[in-house]
């Protein structure tokens, strides 16, 4: 077989080494991308929606929540970078 990774019978070892070496960092990158997309979408939505004559994003509670999302994203990026 031309597309085999490792020798016959070494499938479990290859799977474990691949998931440890490549799985977690890739999963982290995907999760950070999703987190960023959620933040971007939420900021766009709250800026477009109006409540009480002002954009929803101008409400203190919404600003606090958006800041919390942003800080969690920054912390996760920093942790991923350090890992």
* Least confident piece of the model among 11-15, 45-49, 77-81: 11-15
The model's confidence at residue 73, banded by pLDDT at 50, 70 and 90, is very high
Largest CA distance in the chain: 68
- Asked if residue 67 belongs to a domain, the reply is yes
- Asked if residue 20 belongs to a domain, the reply is no
Structural domain boundaries, residue 47: 32-83
- Asked if residue 22 belongs to a domain, the reply is no
- Asked if residue 13 belongs to a domain, the reply is no
pLDDT tens, 15-45? Answer: 666 555 566 777 788 789 889 999 999 999 9
Residue 83 pLDDT: 77
- Asked if residue 18 belongs to a domain, the reply is no
- Asked if residue 15 belongs to a domain, the reply is no
Number of domains present in the structure of the chain: 1
| Closest CA relative to residue 48, chosen from 38, 39, 58 | 58
Neighbours of 72 (CB within 10 A): 12
CA-to-CA distance for 27 and 7, rounded, in angstroms?
Answer: 27
* Structure tokens, 12: 């479990």
- Asked if residue 44 belongs to a domain, the reply is yes
Query: Whole-prediction pTM value?
Result: 0.67
């Amino acid at each position: 077989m031309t597309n085999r990774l490792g020798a016959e019978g070494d499938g479990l070892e290859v799977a474990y080494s691949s998931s440890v070496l490549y799985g977690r960092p890739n999963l982290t990158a995907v999760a950070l991308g999703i987190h960023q997309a959620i933040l971007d979408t939420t900021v766009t939505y709250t800026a477009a929606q109006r409540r009480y004559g002002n954009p929803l994003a101008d409400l203190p509670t919404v600003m606090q929540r958006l800041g919390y999302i942003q800080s969690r994203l920054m912390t996760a990026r920093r942790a991923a970078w350090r890992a």
